[in-house]
A and B are shown apart, each in its own frame.
Chain A
Amino acid sequence: MSSTDISIHKEVHHAHDEHDHHHDLNFFEKYIFSQDHKVIAKQFLFAGIFWGFVGGFLSILFRLQLGWPEATFSFLEPLLGKWVENGKLDPEFYLALVTMHGTIMVFFVLTAGLSGTFSNFLIPLQIGARDMASGFMNMLSFWIFFLSSIVMFASLFIETGPAGGGWTVYPPLSALPQAISGSGLGMTLWLVSMALFIVSQLLGGVNYITTVINLRTKGMSMTKLPLTIWAFFLTAILGLLSFPVLFSAALLLIFDRSFGTSFYLSDIFIAGEALSNTGGSPILFQHLFWFLGHPEVYIVILPTFGIVSEVIATNSRKPIFGYRAMIGSMLGISLLSFVVWAHHMFVTGMNPFLGSVFMFLTLIIAVPSAVKVFNWIATLWRGNIRFTSAMMFAVAFVSLFISGGLTGIILGNSSLDIQLHDTYFVIAHFHLVMGAAAFFGMFCGIYHWFPKMFGRMMDEKLGYVHFWLTFTAVYLVFMPMHYIGIAGFPRRYYSWTGFEAFNTFTDLNTFISLAAILGFTAQFIFLFNFIYSIFKGRRATENPWHSNTIEWTTPVNPGHGNWPGEIPTVYRWPYDYSKPGAAEDFIPQTVPFSQTQSSNLPQEKDFE
């Protein structure tokens, strides 16, 4: 039956095409249920920015509580309703705030918003493809993500509040609705939303991988790929292999919550009453969760590795230092990311020997990470640096990655982790190395590829203001947290004023909160710049950054299919910047060696 439908449909289109010579898409096909990877990328970008502001706002709410624990917040009552009682933030709502902040930032902004935007936008454009392998599945990926977003967003507004068990949703807290209000309906919605999110990631992931394997243009070998593509490719593989494990963990948790099974539950007394559940293990959940959870932090940071490599090379006007080492280190990091998950669980009563194995594997990650940092710095070294907004964010990314990475070496040691576990030291570590760094990578990508996305430039001056405010705020927020953490102040605590030991940190916490508010406010400059530039920005040229990669050979506003004529053929790697003897300081990938005889290296003479 369906076959006849399809053929009739096709004939209608043919008649239509012959009539006016081009195929007009209606509004819905063009902007809403579009199968064009560029439109889907922008959809992900807008959704990501929206979620970024929601997640940031939630953090400001709990920073208010942490910065001014004695203050009354009656002015928040119109917004938060009965979550503010007598001017005091409800402690359980505080937990819901940190939970949702984490969930939103990690999954909705830095996974969907980041990979969704840049993988979708750049993979077909940079490998020379008309579109993704399956445009339909790509569209489905966004709309399932949208559905998941709606469920998660709705959970913010229900009476019992959103999920409150932390973004890691450890049972038994998250499994028992009677434990806290955040484990009620909010938790159910969280699980439903995340299950949908995983389906969306899977649809996107198989698309990215197959597109990179099958749709590269002629000449685009794996070692001529821009590092961005390598990064997105590996990110997609990580997601494909780790998200299903979270899916399993979430399904089992759903059964424990709603159908009376005991996978994670055993011997629990709650409110003086014994539960009938026996035999399960909450540690099991942690293993399953972190088997996703650890690759997840690389899913967040790997795309920005690629983006930053590309932007640093372009704006230093130098070839990326150690191209193959960059690929190798990303492969190494991806591989290692699957065998280090238990370093999140050093204090769960794990066998100390097992702990030392995971410690060893964890510390090895410092090697490929250091290779990357060295290569970025070596690329910058004596480069002809152009400080565009994107470049500022890229350089700052390297700075943040180093600052955050160093504390990773400390935390990776199981004996040190026992002291620092679940303190603000950990918060400072991962916010610098994967939170702020990934955000900087994302900003870097937005500033850099904005001209290709919207055909206009973002304002550089506003970009600088945005950059310096954000950069300052990030360090002012997270550097002091290290001290609070070393002193032993635990994360997720609503208030520390009850503990004599922590009273000395009141001023420091107020300071952090002020810096956080500054940082959040600065993002509105970005938002203004972003929206204003879409409509009123300076018009971009085809290749405003004099970049080598082939997305810049498309028209200023690439249409459906990306290249009006034939897809360009690729002859060289994407990093021929400032090649001695060349006429200009960049040679696009589409230029054959026969046209650049003055600059060809001895080994390239054969290709002439």
Chain B
Amino acid sequence: MSTSTTLEAPNSGTWDGGNEPLKASYGKLMMWFFLLSDAFTFGSFLIVYGLSRHKHLPYTGEADAFTFSTQWWPIPEKVFNAFPGFHGVDLPLAFVALMTMILILSSVTMVLSVEAGHRMDKEAVQKWLLWTILFGSIFLGCQAWEWSHFITGTEEGMLLADGTRVFGANLTINQYGPPLFADLFFFITGFHGTHVLSGVVLLIMIFINTVNGVYQKRGHYEMVEKVGLYWHFVDLVWVFVFTFFYLI
């Protein structure tokens, strides 16, 4: 009855066990499943955004006559129109477009780093990781500026019904529109920013390991690939966040 005495071979198809049917190591699979799970987290936040926004009235008047009011959801171009160094100039979505470009660039450099890992080219992995860390950090810096501008607000602010003016934004009141506009902005971009920050920390960790030759010694750069998956996911999420908050 002992299995070691039989010479009979079991089935050996893709899903017959004893192999990796998806041709991915357990670590990579885990990352994929984690990302799937995280996608549901972000998905529910974006659904919350959609439903909350749907509950509020849109602005129906002339675009030129637009003013901030708690009565309607603001037009994104009128809220996000500032650019550092161009005070008072109306540059709708210019800054966020730049941020998005930077983040997409960081995805490109991440791809190059993973590709260099496949070639076991330590120098190139290092170089491209460093670029990715740099772009990721610049994105976070841009977000910090965007937030601080959003919090400070404009000189005009918003005129309330009782004659007082509101400037900037916090979690209970803001000058741009209904409280939920700022709540959701802070929450969702903040949650995404936390992901980017974690990504940068991970990148720094694997950068240090690469420099120390850990992966060269291990014989593969799979860890770079796994962090790469995460990084691309975070970029992809930004595309959705960008679409919801700035474009629609």
Q: Which residues of A contact B (CB under 8 A)?
A: 1-4, 127-128, 133-134, 137, 202, 205-207, 209-211, 213-222, 224, 240-245, 247-249, 251-252, 255, 259-263, 276-281, 284, 288, 291, 565-566, 568-571, 588, 590-595
Residues of A within 8 A of B243 (CB): none
A280 to chain B, nearest CB (A): 7
Taking A206-B30, A595-B6 as known contacts, 18 extra A-B pairs with beta carbons closer than 8 A to each other, sorted by chain A number, are A1-B208, A1-B212, A2-B212, A3-B212, A134-B30, A206-B34, A213-B21, A213-B29, A214-B24, A216-B18, A221-B16, A244-B41, A260-B170, A261-B179, A262-B180, A263-B48, A590-B1, A594-B6
Asked whether B148 is an interface residue with its Cβ less than 8 Å from the other chain, the reply is no
CB of B221 to closest CB in A, whole Å? 14
Kindly state whether residue B40 has any CB partner on chain A within 8 Å.
Answer: yes
**Closest Cβ of chain B: how far from A575's Cβ, in Å?**
17
Contact: A3 with B214, CB < 8 Å? yes
Minimum C-beta distance from B188 to chain A (A): 10
Which B residues between 33 and 59 are near A, CB-CB below 8 angstroms?
33-34, 36-38, 40-41, 43-45, 48, 51-52, 55-56
**Beta-carbon contacts under 8 Å, B9-29 to A:** 10-13, 15-18, 20-22, 24-27, 29
Q: How far is the CA of A115 from the CA of B111 in the complex (A)?
A: 38
20 contacts between A and B (CB under 8 A): A3-B209, A134-B30, A213-B21, A214-B22, A217-B17, A220-B18, A221-B11, A240-B33, A243-B37, A248-B44, A252-B45, A255-B187, A261-B180, A262-B183, A276-B173, A279-B56, A281-B51, A284-B51, A288-B48, A565-B4
Q: Is A252's CB under 8 angstroms from B187's CB?
A: yes
Within the complex, the shortest CB–CB distance from B50 to chain A, in Å, comes to: 10
Closest A residue by C-beta to B46: A248
Q: Determine whether the beta carbon of A219 is less than 8 Å from that of B16.
A: yes
- Set of chain A residues within 8 Å of B172, measured between Cβ atoms: 260-262, 276
For A281, list chain B residues within 8 Å (CB).
51-52, 55
A548 to B48 Cα, complex, angstroms: 49
Contacts of A571 in B (CB 8 A): 8, 10
> In whole angstroms, what is the CA distance A214 to B3 when docked?
22
Q: Within 8 Å CB of B4, what residues of A?
A: 565-566
Are A215 and B15 also in contact (CB < 8 A) when A3-B213, A244-B41 are?
no
A283 to B219, CA, bound (A): 53
- Of chain A, the residue at the smallest CB distance from B218 is A3
Task: Provide the bound-state CA to CA distance between A278 and B217, in Å.
Answer: 58
Residues of chain B within 8 A (CB-CB) of A242 are 40
Which residues of chain B have a CB within 8 Å of any CB of chain A?
Answer: 1, 3-4, 6, 8, 10-13, 15-18, 20-22, 24-27, 29-30, 33-34, 36-38, 40-41, 43-45, 48, 51-52, 55-56, 70, 170-173, 178-180, 183-184, 187, 191, 208-209, 212-214, 217
A210–B30 touching, CB < 8 Å = yes
| Residue from the list B11, B22, B56 in contact with A213, Cβ < 8 A | B22
Q: Which 4 A-B pairs have the closest CB atoms?
A: A219-B10, A218-B18, A216-B17, A220-B17
A590 touches B17 (CB 8 A): no
Residues of A within 8 A of B48 (CB): 248, 252, 263, 284, 288
Cα separation A591 to B45 with both chains bound (whole Å): 52
A251 CA to B11 CA, complexed, in Å: 48
Nearest chain A CB to B181 CB, angstrom units: 9
* Given contacts A241-B40, A245-B44, A595 and B1 within 8 Å (CB-CB): yes
* A252 cross-chain contacts in B, Cβ below 8 A: 45, 48, 187
Contact between chains at B171 and A259 (CB < 8 Å) = yes
Q: Smallest distance from the beta carbon of A82 to chain B beta carbons, Å?
A: 35
Residues from chain A with Cβ under 8 Å of B183 in the complex: 255, 261-263
**A220 CA / B43 CA spacing, docked (Å):** 36
CA A129 to CA B179, docked complex, whole Å: 53
- Closest beta carbon of chain B to A7's beta carbon, Å: 8
Distance from B187 Cβ to chain A, minimum over Cβ atoms (Å): 6
Q: Is the CB of A249 within 8 A of B44?
A: yes
Contacts of A134 in B (CB 8 A): 26-27, 30
B233 to chain A, nearest CB (A): 13
| Chain B residue contacts of A570, Cβ below 8 A | 10, 17
List the B side residues contacting A245 at CB < 8 Å.
Answer: 40-41, 43-44
Find B16's partner among A1, A218, A280 (CB 8 Å cutoff).
A218
Measured in the bound complex, the distance between the Cα atoms of B11 and A288 in whole Å is: 44
Interface contact B52-A205, CB-CB below 8 Å: no
Are B178 and A278 interface neighbours, CB within 8 A? Answer: yes
CB distance B34 to A202 under 8 Å? Answer: yes
Say yes or no: B52 contacts A568, CB within 8 Å.
no
Contacts of B38 in A (CB 8 A): 244
Question: Please, how many angstroms separate the alpha-carbon atoms of A277 and B179 in the complex?
Answer: 8
Please tell me if the beta carbons of A218 and B37 are within 8 angstroms of each other in the complex. no
Report the separation of the CA atoms of residues A89 and B185 in the bound assembly, to the nearest whole angstrom. Answer: 45
When C-beta atoms are compared, the residue in chain B nearest to A264 turns out to be B48
Distance between Cα atoms of A259 and B172 in the complex (Å): 8
Q: A210-B26, A570-B10 are in contact. Are A590 and B41 (CB under 8 A)?
A: no
Cβ-defined contact, B26 with A211, below 8 A? yes
Residue numbers in A under 8 Å from B33 (CB-CB): 205-206, 209-210, 240
**Least Cβ distance of B80 to chain A in Å?**
20
Bound Cα distance from A491 to B33, whole angstroms: 38
